[in-house]
Structure 1
Amino acid sequence: MDQIRELAALLHPMPEPGSVTPDDCFSDACDQVERERKDYADNLEAAAFGTEGDPVILALEQARAEKEEADRRIRRILAYAKEFQPPRRYILDELGRASGYSISGVRTAYTPEEIGLVQSQIRRDPRRSVSGEDPS
């Protein structure tokens, strides 16, 4: 159980004094972190008990899954920016810096399937077809 509490503290650090604005919300922010730590520890403990898994390994697996989900979100946002916004609205260098991708990585970050997913979620067609041809 100590290991689980330590992982909760590691992954949900307390705010530093002076880091919360306005200052009188610092106590509330600390209370929120305490709730997050408790929820995380309870969930991790239940997962470890239910699977007889090691809490550190489970925490790493969860972090990896969150990282993969974040990468999927980045790819969908890049598809949106490049395929659904006016041409040249976002330059590759700007998108690369913001996403952590190289310029060539931005060009190849998403697939036609991801463009289709964005299209279905925002309910409008891309400015060009998935094949790369301009529909006009």
Structure 2
Amino acid sequence: MHELAAVLHPLPEPGSVTPDDCFDDAREQTEDLRKQYADNLDAAALDTDSEPLILALEQARAQKEAADRRIRLILAYAREFYPPRRYSLRELGAASGYTTSGVNAAYGAQEIKQVQSQIHRAPRRPTRGEEPS
């Protein structure tokens, strides 16, 4: 799994580290990260009697799903809790990877309630499907 670690954690290229005198440290940190990743993946595969490559794909999928959830929460916050008209649908869509019409469809009452419980503040307008209080 050391090759997979190399694929997922590429070494920095010369000129890509600022300041230049940190280049060797950056390469060393990446090598350490590769070893740690490979060791952890091998250990997880042994513990679960799974194939390391399949575990790596499952981990990547879980990270992607978590990122999608974060995007939906940020959109819910931006549209329902942030000052009105702060960001256009076009801006939010471009930043999130959604179309402008997809921004409003990307989140729902569940995300709004989660944001509300985390920031301890009601949305600017009634939650979809609810009557104003």
Do they superpose with TM above 0.5? yes
The aligned residue for residue 94 of structure 2 is 97
Q: For residue 98 of structure 2, what is the amino acid of its counterpart?
A: Y
The aligned residue for residue 72 of structure 2 is 75
Give the whole-Å Cα distance in 1 for the aligned partners of 2:15 and 2:109. Answer: 46
| Counterpart check, 1:54 vs 2:57 | no
Q: For residue 85 of structure 1, what is the amino acid of its counterpart?
A: Y
What is the Cα deviation at residue 132 of structure 1? 6.8
Give the whole-Å Cα distance in 1 for the aligned partners of 2:100 and 2:120. Answer: 28
The aligned residue for residue 85 of structure 2 is 88
What is the Cα deviation at residue 82 of structure 1? 0.6
Give the whole-Å Cα distance in 2 for the aligned partners of 1:125 and 1:132. Answer: 15
Q: How many residues align?
A: 133
C-alpha contact 1:44 1:59 (8 A) present in aligned 2: yes
| Counterpart check, 1:117 vs 2:114 | yes
- What percentage of residue pairs aligned between the two structures are identical? 69
User: Which of 2, 26, 30 is the matching residue for 2:27?
Assistant: 30
Give the whole-Å Cα distance in 2 for the aligned partners of 1:20 and 1:77. Answer: 31
What is the TM-score normalised by the length of structure 2?
0.92
| Counterpart check, 1:131 vs 2:108 | no
Give the whole-Å Cα distance in 1 for the aligned partners of 2:47 and 2:99. Answer: 41
Give the whole-Å Cα distance in 1 for the aligned partners of 2:14 and 2:129. Answer: 52
C-alpha contact 2:108 2:128 (8 A) present in aligned 1: no
Q: For residue 42 of structure 2, what is the amino acid of its counterpart?
A: E
Deviations 1:57-112, CA, capped at 9 Å, x for gaps: 11111100000000000000111111111111111111111111111110110111
What is the Cα deviation at residue 131 of structure 1? 3.0
What is the TM-score normalised by the length of structure 1?
0.90
Q: Mark the runs of 5 or more structure 2 residues left unpaired by the alignment.
A: none
The aligned residue for residue 11 of structure 2 is 14
